[in-house]
Amino acid sequence: MGELEDRRTAVSEARFESLLDTAADGVIVIDETGRMLVFNKICEQLFGYTSQEAIGQNVSLIMPPEFSVSHDRFMHNYHRTGEKRIIGIGREVSGMHRDGTVFPLELSVGEAKTAEGRQYIGVLRDLRSRRAVEQRVSQLQAQVVHMTRLSAMDEMGAAMAHELNQPLTALLLYLQAVARQVRACHADEKPPSDKMLGVLDKAVLEAERASHIVQRMRQMVEKRDPERATIDLREVVNEALDLSEFVAQGATVTIRRVFGMTPIQVDADATQIQQIILNLLRNALEVAKESEERWVKVSIGSDDRSAFVSVTDSGPGFSEDVGKSLFRTFSTTKKSGMGLGLAISRAIAQNHGGDLMADPGGNGQGATFTLMLPMHHSDEAEEDTWG
């Protein structure tokens, strides 16, 4: 009996060994005290220790010092309270190579109750290459967003010139008026009058109006890294609508705003969200312009988990075929590419953990585009620890 059991154990151990060494991920087994019992080949590559060196040592060997201290505490806590902080969950943590290099790891932990007490099995995946790809993607995205902002700027160019013309014209005329009056006073040897000062004040106001327009445009165009912050979606959308109305001055499409009274907080980059809204709005206005009723409705709502911004137009909606290809890059039903805009908008939304959805409408219903973003949760304090 005993002999057979021993043989079985030996076979299963050999199988386990070869499994460990062929695994694509790092595998570590530790006991209740944090001592490493298993350290596979991938771990040797990840951390720069041989398995002989590692086995028997505390697992804090492969953690940055700031985590190794808390790890003992977390294990202790778990044994005392049974509260699972990582077991069966998995999370992103930092590991440390023998040479001191700290790098991101995805760690999943399982627990086994053995005759020799509790043991924990950790599976580790190096996140560095994935991280590099993610970084590259978000860099590219930022670049493309910048480009679309520039092309939007191009379209706005004519509107802008017109908009700046007004305050500049008024400013120059006020100055011409004052210059004349000062010259006339000079000739008559009279002191300048209060009226001239009044005109100068108005000239200053016009100069400010012009610079305000430039500032607003600059905010839209400047290239910068995404900045996440907790924002009230209503404010951010409102600002985008104001800007759009300002650019489309004199247009005959009514923009209806359906907003609630309570703030809707999301964690997002305000400028990128405005970029999406402007994009949706531009498309909707274009469609609404050709329709009979000529309106665009922008509504904001939320449930427990998600916030929504919906943009509906008074147009005829679009066919199912169009709907399918809508988000494909470069696909468009218009001459001036809106496909790219939608594809980018969706990418931005997904980057925020949200999405961009289209309801094609039809049968007298206009199309609706809905931007969905996860709601902000203040109690979501994530700790980056091994515990």
Question: Which residues in this chain contact another protein in the complex, by CB under 8 A?
Answer: 158, 161-162, 165-174, 176-177, 180-181, 199, 202, 205-206, 209, 250
Q: Kindly tell me which of 214 and 229 has the beta carbon lying closer to another protein.
A: 214
Closest CA to 240 of 327, 302, 298, 163: 298
CA dist 184 → 179, 189, 190 (Å):
9, 8, 9
Residue with Cβ nearer another protein (37 or 159): 159
Could you tell me which residues are beta bridge partners of residue 103?
A: 95
Compute the distance between CA of residue 306 and CA of residue 146 in angstroms, rounded to an integer.
Answer: 27
Select 167 or 317, whichever has its Cβ closest to another protein. Answer: 167
β-pairing verdict for 26-31 and 368-374: unpaired
Based on CB atoms, which residue is closest to another protein, 144 or 173? 173
Residue 242 CA, distance from chain mean position: 23
CB 32 within 8 A of CB 75: yes
Query: Closest separation between CB of residue 158 and another protein, Å?
Result: 8
Q: How far is the CB of 163 from another protein (least distance, A)?
A: 9
Q: Is residue 350 within a helix (H) or strand (E), and if so which, with residue range?
A: helix 339-351
Smallest gap from Cβ 191 to another protein, in A, equals 16
Q: Minimal distance in Å, beta carbon 175 to another protein?
A: 9
In angstroms, give the least distance from the CB of 313 to another protein.
23
**Largest distance between two CA atoms of the chain:** 128
Q: Which two tokens mark 334? A: 């218009």
Distance CA 225, CA 155 (A): 24
Note the helical H segments in 189-269. 194-221, 233-247
Structure tokens at 313: 């137009």
In this complex, which beta carbon is closest to another protein, that of residue 101 or of residue 166? 166
Cα(353)–Cα(86) distance, integer angstroms? 22
Question: From the CB of 174, what's the least distance to another protein, in Å?
Answer: 5
Nearest approach, Cβ of residue 204 and another protein (Å)? 12
Which one, 143 or 176, has the nearer CB to another protein?
176
Q: Judged by CB, which is closer to another protein: 22, or 165? A: 165
